[in-house]
Amino acid sequence: MRLAKYLAQCGMGSRREACRLIEAGRITLNGHIARHTDPIRLGESLNCLDNIELDGAPITKTETLAYWILNKAVGTDCRLLEQDETSLVHLLPKAPRLYPVGRLDKDSRGLLLLTNDGELTHKLMHPSFAHSKTYHVHLNRPFTDDFVEQMANGVSYKDLQTLPCQVRRLSSDSFEIVLTQGLNRQIRRMAIALGYKVIDLQRVALMTLTLESLAEGAMRPLTPQEVAVLKAAVTI
């Protein structure tokens, strides 16, 4: 097994985050600075036979996988920075260690999946899997049907062209959009390119997960059925 994949399974975050730890030289393998290409040896019970450490602390076993959902409020920063009092890290339980699957901007709100399942995180985050995320968007003024069509067909900004997506009107100045891309501040920049400003952005669904009655700022573990349905949807 590759080192980054094993670190993800140990609850160190996604494989991308595990790669960052390796690149930063914070991971050692049998006393030497680890490299991305280093394989690791697993015993019959999937215990690691090699000595792996993060900043000198041993990584000894895979954590029990956990899956939570948070209804993030505006003002919460998804970066896990201990020194930032607005950081998501201050809302998370001490154990198990949880990491957000993707991010919501600080000025956005809504559904955020939290887990230590690095493999699931990889499948949900990697662009090649093209999984859906649904948002409700409120603009600064009413928009035309042409705006809906332009958003759905894709918008150009900063030398980028967004992919076609699903858009439907909710009111004179709000709409629902379903994206399979994850570009930085994508919806806000699409709206600006068409002459509008987003004043409220809420993620209401991620694949099969929805907020339902979860209060803003609250979080809860997923039910076993929710986890099973989500994993089944990811493997399709």
- Biggest CA pair distance of the chain: 63
- What are the structure tokens assigned to 30, written together? 């049998």
Residue 216 CA, distance from chain mean position: 18
User: Residue 22 and residue 26: Cα distance in Å, rounded?
Assistant: 6
* Integer angstrom CA distances of residue 129 from 61, 76, 120, 132, 166: 29, 27, 11, 9, 17
User: Residue 100 and residue 72: Cα distance in Å, rounded?
Assistant: 11
From the list 38, 50, 55, 105, the catalytic residue is 105
Q: How many CB atoms lie within 10 A of CB 203?
A: 23
User: Is 200 one of the annotated active-site residues of the chain?
Assistant: no
Q: How many CB atoms lie within 10 A of CB 62?
A: 16
Helix axes 224-235, 118-125, angle to 10 degrees: 50
Are residues 97 and 121 in contact, defined by beta-carbon separation less than 8 angstroms?
A: no
Alpha helices (runs of H) in the chain, residue ranges in sequence order:
3-9, 15-23, 118-125, 145-153, 186-193, 224-235
- List active site positions: 105
